[in-house]
């Protein structure tokens, strides 16, 4: 039975900060950057008003934020932080170390474009840029999903089969700063759900001294990485289990990806995060016109559920993958995953649109054009251009 929940009108950042307050991590190292600053500010208020007993470390850079998170987590407790864009870029070196040391740190990433040119608005360059760093990635369409993912994050990261860091993505401004109606779980329920955390081999257990972070030469490096790969293989099942448990608590069901009218769809769009909302509306309109349109929205992007995504898309005629980030000189980052997922199948014709960079709006009309083109591709089986920028002045 879903527990009593409180309906609120809040921004995405507020929702994430609230989840962090309810989780009450032991240590939060943080550094401000738009659009995630707000999470850090709100959390600082919780700390200074005694609403959490977290120790914050107001570090002098994001590199130090992640370094301190690594030290704190290895020391033996729960650690969270939040960042965006350049902050994420500055953390890059340390992200691989957090995952290599198997530290279940959890972090909100309020997605923002990367410089240059400097831009503070939403796109997915930061999240895509760190996708190979060994962190689990959950993406969220709206404030509710961001909150729910954040509440589930420690459970997934800290699961004994996993022990890996996790990131929860939400779109900068579009979600982080817009007010939405959503539901909070009661404090006690969140506390019970996330439970107590016991670090493996904590550094502060000084009676049992240990060395973390050895130099590893070619004779052992590969074994370390193989063990890390194994942990990633276990993530999917854990995400499914934790999500099922969360559904019992909240009444909100999450899969590793969301499908919208996909069952019998012939033309399919694939999109992450907030754009999915607009796309769903347009799909409804096309369905009303008798066009079998559908959407697949990945939630778990790392590890990527190739088999399941492949199976979900294989019967479509045409699939357009919408990337809110570019991999310069390559196809869009999500396109590459979808193409890999479909590789074992005869499957649909695939093409790729790059949209919405640096906060450029994706309007219903833009989505309509994409659907129209997908319908055309489904019909002819021919693609004009595999990768194309849209929502851009030509």
Partner 1 sequence: MSTTQEKPMTLKSLSHKKDLLTGGHRMCSGCGAPIVLRQVLLAVENPVVLTNATGCLEVSTCLFPFTAWRVPWMHSAFENSAATASGIETMYRALRKKGKIKKEMNFIAIGGDGGTYDIGFQSLSGAMERGHKMLYICYDNGAYMNTGIQRSSATPFGADTTTCPAGDVVPGKPQRRKDLTRIMAAHNVAYAAQASPHNWKDLITKVKKALAADGPSYMGIIAPCNRGWRCQTNDAIQLSKLAVDACFWPLYEVEGGKWTINYDPKDKKRPIKDWLKPQGRFKHLFAPGNEWMLEKFQQGVDADWESLKKLQEAFGR
Partner 2 sequence: MKQMNWKELPHAGTILDAGNAHTYKTGSWRSLKPRWIEENCIQCLFCWIYCPDSSVMVKDEKMTGFDYDHCKGCGVCAMECPGKKGAKAIVMEEEGK
DSSP conformation letters of 309-367: HHHHHTT-SEEEEEESS--TTSS-HHHHHHHHHHTTS---EEEEEE--GGG----HHHH
Give Cα separations from 138 to 12, 54, 119, 153 (angstroms).
15, 24, 24, 8
Instruction: Pick one of partner 1, partner 2, none as the site partner of residue 230 (Cβ within 5 to 8 A by kind).
Output: partner 2
Contact window for partner 2 (CB under 8 A) among 173-181, 221-229, 250-258, 385-393: 221-229
Q: Which stretch binds partner 2 (CB under 8 A): 86-94, 112-120, 225-233, 297-305?
A: 225-233
Q: Which does 1 bind (CB under 5 to 8 A by kind): partner 2, partner 1, none?
A: none
DSSP-derived pairing of the beta strands 106-111 and 387-389:
unpaired
- Tokens encoding 202: 């904590």
Q: Coil, strand or helix: which one is 76?
A: helix
Positions in 100-119 near partner 1 (CB under 8 A): 101
With contact defined as beta carbons under 8 Å apart, do 82 and 111 qualify?
A: no
Q: Using CB under 8 A, which of the segments 34-42, 128-136, 226-234, 352-360 binds partner 2?
A: 226-234
Nearest distance from C-beta of residue 59 to partner 1, angstroms: 6
Q: Contact letters (x/-) for partner 2, 151-190, by CB under 8 A?
A: ------------x---------------------------
Please name which of 299, 256, 253, 263 lies closest in space to residue 283, comparing C-alpha atoms.
Answer: 263
- Rounded CA-CA distance 305/298 in Å is 9
Query: What is the closest distance, in whole angstroms, from the C-beta atom of residue 32 to partner 1 in the complex?
Result: 14
**Min. distance of Cβ 69 from partner 2 in angstroms?**
15
Q: Which does 54 bind (CB under 5 to 8 A by kind): partner 2, partner 1, none?
A: partner 1
Interface with partner 2, residue 214, by CB under 8 A: yes
Give the max Cα distance, the chain: 70
Tell me which residue of 47, 285, 49, 123 sits closest to 57, measured CA to CA.
47
**Among the listed residues 219, 289, 346, 393, the single contact to partner 2 using CB under 8 A:** 219
Cα four-point dihedral sign 10, 13, 16, 18: negative
Smallest distance, partner 1 to C-beta of residue 344, A: 38
CB of 108 to partner 2, least distance (A): 24
How far apart are alpha carbons 356 and 274 in whole angstroms? 11
**Least distance to partner 1 from the beta carbon of 207, Å?**
8
* Six-digit token string for 151: 């509440």
Residue 214 or 385: which CB sits closer to partner 1? 214
The answer to whether 302 and 137 have CB atoms below 8 angstroms apart is yes
224 contributes a contact to partner 2 by CB under 8 A = yes
| Residue 43 binding partner 2, by CB under 8 A | no
Count CA atoms closer than 13 A to 158's CA, side-chain side.
Answer: 23
Question: Which residue from 189, 28, 188, 19 is spatially nearest to 105, judged by alpha carbons?
Answer: 28
Per-residue contact flags (x/-) with partner 1 for residues 53 to 92, judged by CB under 8 A: xxx-xxxxx-xx--xxxxxxxxxxx-x-------------
Q: Could you tell me which residues come within 8 angstroms of residue 224 by beta carbon, excluding any fewer than 6 positions away?
A: 100, 216
Q: Does residue number 217 form part of the binding site for partner 2 (CB under 8 A)?
A: no
User: Interface residues with partner 1 (CB under 8 A)?
Assistant: 26-27, 29, 53-55, 57-61, 63-64, 67-77, 79, 93-94, 97, 101, 203-207, 209-217, 220
User: Interface residues with partner 2 (CB under 8 A)?
Assistant: 100-103, 163, 200-201, 208-212, 214, 216, 219-220, 222-224, 226-227, 230
């Amino acid at each position: 039975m879903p527990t009593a929940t409180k309906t609120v009108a809040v921004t995405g950042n507020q929702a994430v900060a609230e989840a962090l307050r309810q989780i009450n991590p032991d240590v939060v190292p943080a550094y401000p950057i738009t659009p995630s600053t707000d999470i850090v500010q709100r959390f600082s208020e919780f700390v200074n008003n005694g609403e959490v007993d977290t120790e914050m470390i107001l570090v002098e850079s994001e590199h130090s934020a992640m370094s301190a998170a690594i030290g704190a987590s290895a020391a033996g407790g729960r650690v969270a932080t939040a960042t965006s864009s350049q902050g994420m870029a500055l953390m890059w070196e340390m992200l691989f170390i957090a995952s290599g040391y198997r530290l279940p740190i959890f972090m909100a990433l309020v997605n923002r474009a990367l410089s240059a040119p400097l831009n503070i608005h939403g796109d997915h360059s930061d999240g895509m840029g760190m996708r190979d760093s060994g962190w689990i990635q959950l993406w969220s369409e709206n404030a509710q999903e961001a909150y729910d993912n954040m509440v589930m994050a420690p459970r997934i990261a800290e699961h004994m089969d996993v022990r890996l860091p996790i990131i929860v993505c939400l779109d900068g401004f579009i979600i982080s700063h817009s007010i939405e109606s959503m539901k909070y779980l009661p404090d006690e329920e969140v506390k019970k759900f996330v439970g107590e955390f016991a670090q493996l081999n904590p550094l502060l257990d000084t009676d049992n001294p240990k060395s973390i972070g050895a130099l590893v030469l070619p004779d052992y490096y590969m074994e370390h990485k193989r063990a890390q790969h194994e942990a990633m293989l276990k993530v999917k099942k854990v995400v499914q289990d934790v999500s099922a448990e969360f559904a019992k608590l909240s009444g909100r069901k999450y899969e590793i990806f969301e499908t919208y009218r996909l069952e019998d769809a012939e033309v399919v769009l694939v999109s992450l995060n907030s754009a999915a909302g607009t796309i769903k509306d347009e799909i409804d309109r096309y369905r009303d016109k008798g066009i079998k349109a559908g959407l697949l929205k990945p939630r778990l992007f790392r590890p990527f559920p190739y088999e399941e995504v492949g199976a979900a898309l294989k019967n479509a005629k045409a699939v357009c993958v919408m990337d809110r980030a570019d991999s310069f000189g390559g196809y869009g980052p999500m396109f590459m995953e979808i193409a890999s997922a479909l590789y074992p199948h005869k499957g649909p014709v695939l093409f790729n649109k790059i949209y919405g960079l640096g906060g450029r709006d994706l309007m219903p009309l833009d989505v309509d054009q994409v659907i129209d083109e997908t319908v055309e591709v489904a019909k002819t089986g021919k693609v004009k251009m595999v990768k194309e920028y849209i929502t851009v002045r030509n």
